[in-house]
A = this chain, B = another copy of it.
Amino acid sequence: MITSNDQHPRDEKAFLESYDPAAFDHPSVAVDVALLSVVAGSLKILLVRRADHPDLGKWALPGGFVGFMEPLEDAAARILRDKARQDHVFLEQLYTFGDPTRDPRTRVISVAYFALVDQSRFDRVASVADGVAVGRVHVDWSGETGGAASTLDESGEEYDLAFDHANIIGVCVKRLRGKLNYTPIGFELLPARFTLRRLQTVHEAILGKSVNKDSFRRRMLATGLLEPTGDREDEVGHRPAELYRFTSSNRQ
């Protein structure tokens, strides 16, 4: 049994003072963040080029080690700030990847998060920095097993991702597909005001298949989470659609 032990229990204060956390080797703990958006009907993900060994030059999810006393979610938010210039985004823990061989340096356990932003915020990042790229996540509808996903560049070439990051993305897509059915997660990928057609596009991008327009409208309006703003989109080459807003939202 590998637990910290004290054969002669003293009082708790004395115990804590004598406790030595460095008494045995510790795994390292990192956080990796999948920053996602839906652009032009496709699920997009932010990648950064690795500037260090191992996997130097390969593309990876933005990530980094967790500070000794840093909350996991704070670490994820910090990484988004530092590497993607994003603040106050929707962030949720995905899964913890702990294969002892996933990082050749030493044992690195990675707590993966995913973050969702709307297209305009996503475009801003993707254009800003050097060593940053946008991948298109491609997961066959039939292949929703949570296995490795392929991530493609603009020309359709598959990125060779660092570590087990292709696997992380696969798990992420599976989770998003599941959450879509029972949580208002789609709204996180849209600006404050949006048309039903845009919401449908977001769902289709995540699910990897088209959905029935009529029942989608009915289903969304029946949730009670949407309210019409009274305004309509403009500058479109056809009848403009009503703009809706997410009701229980605290977004502006």
Contact = CB atoms under 8 A, between A and B. Distances in A.
A247 interface: no
A192 B246 CA distance: 46
A104 interface: yes
A151 B5 CA distance: 27
A248 interface: no
Contacts of A178: 182
Contact of A16 (B1, B16, B27, B105): B105
A71 B102 CA distance: 11
B52 A5 contact: yes
A68 B25 contact: yes
A219 interface: no
A64 B2 contact: yes
A233 interface: no
A154 interface: no
A54 B29 CA distance: 23
A109 B12 CA distance: 21
Interface in A75-118: 82-83, 93, 95-96, 98-100, 104-107, 109, 111
B24 A26 contact: no
Nearest to A21: B106
Q: Which of A2, A15, A19, A68 has its CB near the most chain B CB atoms (within 10 A)?
A: A2
Contacts of A22: 22, 25
Interface of A: 1-6, 9-10, 12, 15-16, 19, 21-22, 24-29, 52-54, 56, 64-73, 82-83, 93, 95-96, 98-100, 104-107, 109, 111, 178, 182
Given A26-B26, A27-B68, 15 more contacts: A1-B82, A1-B83, A3-B64, A6-B52, A9-B53, A12-B53, A15-B53, A16-B104, A19-B106, A21-B28, A25-B68, A27-B66, A66-B109, A71-B98, A72-B98
